[in-house]
Structure 1
Amino acid sequence: MFVNENKCRAVHYFGKVEQSYQYHLAGHSILPVENVRDLGVHFDSSLRFDKHVSEVTRKANYQLLCLRRNFRKFNLRSFIAIYKSTVRPLLEYNSSVWYPLNKNGRARVEKVQQRTTKLVPYLKHLPYENRLHRLGLSSLQFRRDRADIINTFHIIKGIDNIISTDLLELYPSPDFRLNYNHIYCLL
């Protein structure tokens, strides 16, 4: 396998390493950086993903601006189709990796969907939850929680190629009438 040394970077996570320490690959020094972009996700040395959240919300807001500029009056069916195909994928791409843990980051991502639902004129005056219900949409937090549950199920059942014993431990329920296990995270 060929590795391009010019594209390789070194990121030190959760702490500073002496600046004198150098990584080498095939005789070339690898540059240390504070953040790196991999598969469209910006990783920083503290794994807070603030830069990535800013980038995602910027792109989604720009896409929202384009929608508002090009479509003056929204047909409800076309609005939902356009939103689901252009804006929401930006907000959900690889979110199992980068979704923010702090309230501020989650609010910034959810705010984009709140602004989007206000584009429908006759729903503008309703609260956010009611707008979602009328449009047949779910909040991004709900979709994220659902995706986490599905991913956990895939890991437990061996559908994904991840060894679940390294991450999760299953204990049978103490009540024999119930057909489920308790899951404990080992991390």
Structure 2
Amino acid sequence: MKLKGLTCAHEYAVAVSNRYDVLGALEDPVELWDTFKRETLQAAKECIGERPRSKRGFVSPETLEKIEESRAARLAGNQDQHRALSRRTGNLLGRDKERYARSLTEYVEGHLNANDLRPAYRALKKLRSKSPSRASAIRTADGRLVSDMDGQMARWAEYFGQLFTVDPPTEQLHTTGLQAVNFAPEKTQAMVVSRSPTAGPAVEGRLRFGGVPLPLQEAVKVLGVEVDRELRFDGHIKHIAKKASHRVSALRRVARFLDRGGKLLLYKAQIRPYLEYAALSWMSCAASHTRRLDSIQRRALRLVDAADPPDPPDPPALFEPVSPLDSLEHRRDVAALVVFHKAQVQGVPHLAGLRQPPRVATRSTRTVLTSSDAVEVPRSRASQHQRTFVGRVSRMWNIFTAAVPHIQEMNTQSVKLAANRWRLLKPTPLRLVIL
């Protein structure tokens, strides 16, 4: 709101322009971005100020005060006081949540008695859990179905007990003269991959590393990619969307000082890599999450295509339209086809696990005869598996090889160009036929 005033806007523009003088002497892109971000935010803090965040929800002022005291104790290094305040804060949060739930139930009861259903159902949506636990029946070792919680806990304990029981070594490995690597238990993460809510409690406290029990995690991060216990990437998508959104906000603050080419270059170099890092590993996520990333790119492109300020006038060359960018799905599909070509045709050793067996034709048709490079599509019973790398790229590969001849003689660059031209002819989003 303050930027709508001419005085504040002029002061902010002057402060940003003065702080950008130090950017000319920097050459490292990482240092350039960090300096650019720090100076821009500092200028905004000095000229505009910070908006105080409103405290909402069921947390009482007393609990908020204890939270601040606990945080201050942690920053001061007082561990004993921090632990005591953390326990006290947990108790207060539980009390506040119970009081909040009780007030909602009384609210629902009152509206139900008055036959006023809309506010009652709205309050019920607040009361119910966002992720209700779903427990299905499992089989015991002799094939019997177990549906009760105690029986499932006992079965999971029996299963993991057999899984982690190994025979003692028959001989000792001599490590004299070898440089052994020491692993720290506090830097080791453990996670049970299962959708059953009883799998985690059955293993809790039984995994040890160097005599130290390993706590089970709901999600682990490997090389910057976060995956949860259900092999989903929802948390990772939310994280990269938040990081990219912050950078788009930084781009918006300086968009008025850059021409279209500069804004587009800044987006390609500093924002789009966040949206595409390890995309082939998390391409199985739901369409709602990929649409969230697409909205961030559209938001950035609106800044790129925004009209430049008329005063002072820019040279005509700066007003030339910027070529539209390919969609994120387009770029993911092209990258998937190129990687699959490396695995299937070039035979790259470290991609051997991605190779698929050739498709065996059950009848002789013109379609089969013109696609000798087609592969067997893995059978999918779940929509999530159809969106995985192998499930999606095998279907795309069969369509791509039928349309592009001589795929065996192409190198990586030729396949990349052919895949890009082929993908431009297809709609976005691309719906593949489930074979």
Quote the offset at 1:169 in angstroms: 0.9
Residue 42 of structure 1 aligns to a residue whose secondary structure is: strand
- CA 1:42–1:93 in structure 2 vs 1: closer, same or farther (change >3 Å)? same
The residue type equivalent to 1:8 in the other structure is T
Q: Quote the Cα distance in structure 2 between the aligned partners of 1:185 and 1:69.
A: 48
The residue type equivalent to 1:148 in the other structure is A
Quote the offset at 1:14 in angstroms: 2.6
Deviating above 3 A after TM superposition, structure 1's stretches of 4 or more consecutive aligned residues are 171-180
In the alignment, what sits opposite 1:182? 374
In the alignment, what sits opposite 2:233? 49
- CA 1:155–1:2 in structure 2 vs 1: closer, same or farther (change >3 Å)? farther
How big is each residue's C-alpha offset from its partner over 1:84-126, in whole Å with a ceiling of 9 and x where there is no partner?
1000000001111123531211110111001011112149xxx
In the alignment, what sits opposite 1:163? 352
- 8 Å CA contact retained: 2:200, 2:216: no
Q: Which structure 2 segments of 5+ residues have no match?
A: 1-180, 309-320, 380-435
Asked if residue 12 in structure 1 is aligned to residue 185 in structure 2, the reply is no
User: How high is the TM-score relative to the length of structure 1?
Assistant: 0.82
- 8 Å CA contact retained: 1:155, 1:162: yes
- CA 1:111–1:18 in structure 2 vs 1: closer, same or farther (change >3 Å)? closer
How big is each residue's C-alpha offset from its partner over 1:48-77, in whole Å with a ceiling of 9 and x where there is no partner?
211111111110010011111123144222
Q: Quote the Cα distance in structure 2 between the aligned partners of 1:98 and 1:177.
A: 34
Quote the offset at 1:38 in angstroms: 1.7
Between structure 1 and structure 2, the one with the greater Rg is 2
Give the fraction of aligned pairs with identical amino acids, expressed as a percent. Answer: 23
In the alignment, what sits opposite 1:87? 271
Q: Spell out the pairing of 1:41-80 with structure 2 (5 A cutoff).
A: 41-80=225-264
> Which residue of the other structure, out of 149, 153, 171, is the alignment partner of 2:341?
153
Q: Quote the Cα distance in structure 2 between the aligned partners of 1:91 and 1:37.
A: 17
- 8 Å CA contact retained: 1:170, 1:181: yes
Quote the offset at 1:162 in angstroms: 2.6
Q: More deviation in 88-97 or 98-107?
A: 98-107
Count of matched residue positions in the alignment of Structure 1 and Structure 2: 177
Quote the offset at 1:20 in angstroms: 4.0
Q: More deviation in 107-116 or 62-71?
A: 62-71
Q: Quote the Cα distance in structure 2 between the aligned partners of 1:170 and 1:89.
A: 34
- 8 Å CA contact retained: 1:154, 1:160: no
Residue 31 of structure 1 aligns to a residue whose secondary structure is: coil
- CA 1:11–1:167 in structure 2 vs 1: closer, same or farther (change >3 Å)? farther
Residue 226 of structure 2 aligns to a residue whose secondary structure is: strand
Q: Quote the Cα distance in structure 2 between the aligned partners of 1:75 and 1:96.
A: 33
- CA 1:103–1:82 in structure 2 vs 1: closer, same or farther (change >3 Å)? same
Q: Quote the Cα distance in structure 2 between the aligned partners of 1:172 and 1:159.
A: 23
- 8 Å CA contact retained: 2:191, 2:216: yes
Q: Quote the Cα distance in structure 1 between the aligned partners of 2:200 and 2:297.
A: 43
More helix by share: 2
The residue type equivalent to 2:347 in the other structure is G
Residue 95 of structure 1 aligns to a residue whose secondary structure is: coil
How big is each residue's C-alpha offset from its partner over 1:7-56, in whole Å with a ceiling of 9 and x where there is no partner?
11211123342524221222221211111122111111112211111111
In the alignment, what sits opposite 1:139? 327
- 8 Å CA contact retained: 2:190, 2:216: yes
- CA 1:86–1:160 in structure 2 vs 1: closer, same or farther (change >3 Å)? farther
- 8 Å CA contact retained: 1:42, 1:49: yes
More strand by share: 1
Residue 183 of structure 1 aligns to a residue whose secondary structure is: coil
Q: Quote the Cα distance in structure 1 between the aligned partners of 2:242 and 2:291.
A: 14
- 8 Å CA contact retained: 2:248, 2:271: yes
Q: CA RMSD in A?
A: 2.6
Quote the offset at 1:134 in angstroms: 4.6
